[in-house]
Amino acid sequence: MHLDRLKQQIRFVIEIDKLKRVVRQTILMDRSRLENDAEHSWHLAIMAMLLSEYAAENNIDLFRVIKMVLVHDLVEIDAGDTYCYDEEAIEDQMKREEEAADRIFNMLPEDQSKEIRLLWDEFNDRKTPEARFAAALDRLQPLLHNYNTDGMMWKKNGIKSNQVISRNKPIEEGAPTLWDYAAGLIGDAVRKGFLAQ
């Protein structure tokens, strides 16, 4: 029994509880409160299970997609959630998140720290079909929330349709059918007045 190794792993399990306190600019479907990163990550993992048939490439490694979405926001424990339409915050986002990755992932035994880091890098680089599909889900999920709450957070943050289109267009690379669907929602949101032209 490698008790030191287990203790190190348990310390990490305890540390990442903090992700439940990182609040996003997405409101729950019932509009009761903002969503946090842990809930968001769980939602993406289930979406990956159910929507993989729409991935741009056949036979993607769905297990790796799910692992990627489960860990993709862990760095926000230190770096905080960066709102995708906050251009100032996006500027130093990578630097803040790299530092966070160094601290948080290095709490794990070296083999596991490397594994999580590889998954996180793959997600950010969007060079594999798996990462592009994961990124598509990461965009589609908040869009579903915005559409189904009559654009509440779009309105609150003064977001316009061209911003939403350019944020969500990468869905097409990862899952073309989901992009067609998303583009339909965006158009409909403008028509219904949920989203400013």
Helix (H) or strand (E) holding 164: helix 161-168
Only segment of 84-92, 142-150, 158-166, 186-194 that touches a copy of itself (CB under 8 A) = 142-150
How far, rounded to the nearest angstrom, does the alpha carbon of residue 164 sit from its chain's CA centroid? 15
**Cα separation of 61 and 59, whole Å?**
6
Select the span of 10-18, 75-83, 94-102, 165-173 touching a copy of itself (CB under 8 A).
10-18
Residue 62 or 165 with smaller CB distance to a copy of itself: 62
What 3-state class would DSSP assign to 196? strand
**Token couple for 126:** 């969007």
34 is an interface residue for a copy of itself by CB under 8 A: no
Closest CB to a copy of itself among 80 and 89? 80
Q: Any contact of residue 70 with a copy of itself (CB under 8 A)? A: yes
DSSP 23-84: EEEEE-TTSSSEEEHHHHHHHHHHHHHHHGGGSSSTT--HHHHHHHHHHTTTTHHHH-PPPT
Residues 131/142/70/169 CA torsion (nearest 10 deg): 0
Smaller CB distance to a copy of itself: residue 58 or 197? 58
Window 73 to 102, contacts with a copy of itself (CB under 8 A) = none
Instruction: Give me the residues that bind a copy of itself (CB under 8 A), please.
Output: 1, 3, 6, 9-10, 12-14, 16-21, 28-30, 32, 35-36, 38-39, 41-43, 45-47, 49-51, 54, 62-63, 66-67, 70-71, 108, 112, 141, 144-145, 148, 177-178, 180-181
